[in-house]
Amino acid sequence: MNNKNDLPESNRRDFLRNASLATMMAMMGGVELRADDAAKSAPAPDAGLTKIPPAPPINVGVIGLGGWGREILTQFGKINTDPTRAKKDSAPVVAVCDIYHAAVRKAIKDTPNAQPYEDYTKLLADPKVQAVIIATPTGTHKEITLAALAAGKHVYCEVPLATTIDDAKEIAKAARGLVKLIFQPGLQQRSHPQIEFLLPFIRSGALGKYVMVRGQWHVNDSWYQAAPTPEREAALNWRLHNATSTGLLGEEGIHQIDTVSHFLRGRPASVTGFSSTIRNYTDNRDVPDTVQAVFEFPHGVNFFHDLTLCSSFQDKHEVYLGDEAAMMMRDFKAWLFKEAGAHEGGWEVYARHDRFYKETGIALVAGASKQTTLAGTAESFNPYDHVPLYYALDAFADRAGRLTDEVSKRAEMYSDEESSSLAAYLKTVSALNSKPAANWQDGLDATVMAIIANQAAVKKQKITFEKEWFEL
């Protein structure tokens, strides 16, 4: 099947050879001991070149003010008031929109400076809005995304991008050739510092040969949302029906599917699904409340993925099993569990160790001091300040602000510059990508995998992925 690359992309020997002790220490814990030491010494020659100035502010509009839309507003509130940021109000929310009046009214209470809209086309016509977040039901993403891009707005679109592969491809086609605009799919894990930190480690083959990956998303929640009118109830509960929803695997599992595919650096050859509805519901839903999927990734590595609304046991996590070590990611923390006799690195002495029943996990964390790393329990240990959505929205605002500024400055310099020349110039501006984020291809890939996995689960069958589903 269609592999992006063989894996692992480099071997552990290369990784160890190429990584300095400082880098290893920085990656594996005890980092601040060295960072503190470094801070006391003179700055390195030419260190000033690495300075990246704060991104210019970008005005944001949020379309879709359901539960997730309100969470987006909350995170923008944090982004705009974070005292550690160089500039406050870097991404002011200047407009909000929902077709439901009460949702708009509620949102305006939290964002009183935002212009309220109940028609997204009017929000898109607002010249003050430079970038939009689309957090509407999955089936409406295509129409709004295409209109937003045509209106010259940067777009952050929640995932899955669409409920069908054809619609996802239309979005991807519109996003592929963009020069002056950002399109970012809502694959929020891609922007989380823990993922960025672990990526070179896990791709280096540090776990030995991959054996398998397990992932679970367990909650005890009906997914049903009450509403004052039958019409509003129907609109609000779009996730409960196969006609409008991509099910648990699509609407929730897509983030874990994307992370696994990102780490394994490949697309699966096939997916086999299972599904059942364990509980009795009176809301006429036809989306199963419990699903399992087995993805066949390259080199015989299978990803076992299960999701349920009926049990919260062990919450949400992923485990990557290798023949020398396993890595567990949970609550955006990660631990390494080594096989007996596996090579021991010097960094492990400085790292935090946590007991999980009979196993000892070595914490993998960046940016925490030794003291911080060693303090508290495994549950209370929290090396990151924010949820993944914060980092993803922050990356989007940062990239959109920088790109808008660069394009504007460039137009001032070269009033009739051709698009290809501008695109070539923008590729040289490294600050545009100073914060990691998913691109249109990542969004298409994850959407295809999620849609097909959901179909396999609903039909309880195996589906082989076609190469052309991922290509434009």
Partner 1 sequence: MRFLPCPAAVLAVCLASVLQAGAQTRYSAQPAGTSVKIDGTSSMHDWQMEGSTIGGYIEFGPGVSLDKTQTTPVGMQGDKVAAKVRAIIPVSTIHSKADHLPGTMDDLMQQTMKADDFRTIEFTLTEMTFKGPHAAGQPFEFDTKGELVIAGKTNKVNFPVSIEPLDGGKIKVIGTAPVKMTDFGVTPPAPNFGLGMMKCGDAVTIKFDWTLKAKEKK
Would you tell me which residues interact with partner 1 (CB under 8 A)? 45-46, 48-49, 53, 409, 412-417, 421, 425
Distance between CA atoms of 92 and 105, rounded to whole angstroms? 18
Strands (E), 246-289: 270-276
Q: Residue 234: phi, psi to the nearest 5? A: -65, -45
Cβ proximity to partner 1: between 279 and 412 the closer is 412
Neighbours of 53 (CB within 10 A): 9
Distance between CA atoms of 332 and 387, rounded to whole angstroms? 9
Residue 344's contacts (CB-CB under 8 Å, 6 or more residues apart) are 338
Cβ proximity to partner 1: between 53 and 230 the closer is 53
To partner 1, the closest distance from the beta carbon of 86 in angstroms equals 12
The CA R_g of the chain, rounded to the nearest whole Å, is 23
Distance between CA atoms of 212 and 220, rounded to whole angstroms? 27
Cβ proximity to partner 1: between 56 and 200 the closer is 56
Cβ proximity to partner 1: between 99 and 431 the closer is 431
Cβ proximity to partner 1: between 49 and 226 the closer is 49
To partner 1, the closest distance from the beta carbon of 424 in angstroms equals 8
Helices (H), 278-348: none
Distance between CA atoms of 324 and 446, rounded to whole angstroms? 29
Which residues in 350-370 are b (16+ Cβ under 10 Å) and which e? bbbebeeeeeebbbbbbebbb
Write down the residue that tokens 């090396």 correspond to. 383
To partner 1, the closest distance from the beta carbon of 79 in angstroms equals 23
Helices (H), 177-253: 193-203, 230-236, 247-251
Are 263 and 297 spatial neighbours (Cβ–Cβ below 8 Å)? Answer: no
Cβ proximity to partner 1: between 282 and 428 the closer is 428
Are 186 and 278 spatial neighbours (Cβ–Cβ below 8 Å)? Answer: no
Cβ proximity to partner 1: between 50 and 377 the closer is 50
Cβ proximity to partner 1: between 360 and 434 the closer is 434
To partner 1, the closest distance from the beta carbon of 422 in angstroms equals 8
Cβ proximity to partner 1: between 39 and 413 the closer is 413
Cβ proximity to partner 1: between 53 and 228 the closer is 53
Helix axes 254-264, 440-459, angle to 10 degrees: 120
Are 384 and 78 spatial neighbours (Cβ–Cβ below 8 Å)? Answer: no
Q: 3-class DSSP state for residue 123?
A: helix
To partner 1, the closest distance from the beta carbon of 49 in angstroms equals 4
Cβ proximity to partner 1: between 226 and 413 the closer is 413
- Residues counted in the chain: 472
Strands (E), 240-386: 270-276, 290-297, 301-308, 316-322, 325-330, 333-338, 353-356, 359-364
Which residues in 24-37 are b (16+ Cβ under 10 Å) and which e? bbbbbbbbbebeee
